[in-house]
Structure 1
Amino acid sequence: MDTPKRLENALSKLYKAFNGDTLNPECCVQCAVGNICDNKDNWKHFSDFHGSLQLNYVGLVHQRLGRTIQGYTPQQLLEIEAVFLKSCGFSIPLNRNGKKPVNPTSKETLFKGLCAVVAYLCALDGVDNVMDYTRMFETGIERLQLEYN
């Protein structure tokens, strides 16, 4: 199955951000969606709060006009960001009194968020999760069973 271009681009940007230490859940230009959107924060104007799933007036207008950023609709962008923040351990939408991980930029925290976002992006495009390693082991076990039978 071919990987859709928008998925390929998003995965590449997230990979570079994670490995280049430019992934930060609390920054609108360095969060998951900020990186997908080329480190621009124009997507944040689709809702009133970072991490909210509720489109505001601007977001609704863009959604209804069918506009996309990097191939994703305003609603999809908000959903991607919500998945990232929740998987990193934040309560959404972000606010001063909400739940927050002890170290929001630790590699472990960011990796949890990244894995969840990758799974969500793959699901959006109807593609098997590219980070699901269990199938690799299943194939190995099946191969071993065939060799011993």
Structure 2
Amino acid sequence: MKTSLRLESAINRLYIAFHNNTLNPECCKQCAVGNILNNTDSWKHLSDNHGSLQLNYVGSVHQTLGRKFNGYTPLELLQIEAAFLKACGYKLPIHHKNKKPKNPMDKDNLFKGLSEVIVFLCQLDGVENVMDYTKLFEVEKDKPKYTLT
């Protein structure tokens, strides 16, 4: 399967963050988008609230000008982060009064968020979910239909 450079790069960064324990939903540098953008938090200025899908003035200007950050538009970045946070169990946008997971750094919790982000990233690029393992179990004439390569 052919994937875009932005997708490959994003998945690689998220994979490393997950395994290095540097994926943190409550830190703008270590959340899904923070990791995709090289552990920077400049993306947080695109919206007024962490987890919001609403671009603020700065975000709208960048979106209108067609700017991309590591291949993603400002709106796509907000959508990526929202998918991550929702799957991790947050009520959006993040606010001290809104629901959040008891242990945000729980590996199972982070894996759910990571999986949802990858599904969304694949949808953005129009490719099949790279984490879909169901094809590995398809059989044809009692033999695996696909091989691991």
TM-score (norm 1): 0.94
In structure 1, what is the Cα distance between the partners aligned to 2:45 and 2:141?
A: 51
- Look up the equivalent residue of 2:95 and give its one-letter code: N
Q: Which residue of 1 aligns with 2:59?
A: 59
- After superposition, the CA RMSD in angstroms is 1.1
Measure, in 2, the Cα distance between the counterparts of 1:89 and 1:137: 30
Please give the residue correspondences for 1:103-114 in structure 2 after superposition, counting only pairs within 5 Å.
Answer: 103-114=103-114
1:92-136 deviation per Cα after TM superposition (whole angstroms, max 9, x unaligned): 100001111111001000000000000000010001100001111
The equivalent of 2:140 in structure 1 is 142
Distance change >3 Å, CA 50–CA 137, structure 1 → 2: same
Please name the residue that 1:71 is paired with: 71
1:20 paired residue number: 20
Q: Which runs of 4+ in 1 moved over 2 A?
A: none
In the comparison of the two structures, how many residue pairs are matched?
144
Equivalent residue number for residue 44 of structure 1: 44
Superposed CA deviations along residues 50-94 of structure 1, whole A, max 9, x for unmatched, are 000000000000000000100000000000000000000000100
1:145 offset after TM fit, Å?
A: 6.4
Output the CA distance in 1 between the equivalents of 2:9 and 2:141.
34
Secondary structure at the counterpart of residue 61 of structure 1: helix
Change (3 A) 1:37 1:143: farther
What's the % identity of the aligned pairs?
A: 62
Distance 2:94 2:141 in 1: 47
SS at match of 1:101: coil
Describe the shift of the 1:134–1:75 C-alpha distance in structure 2 as closer, same or farther (beyond 3 A): same
Offset of residue 142 of structure 1: 2.5
What TM-score do the two structures reach when normalised by structure 2?
A: 0.94
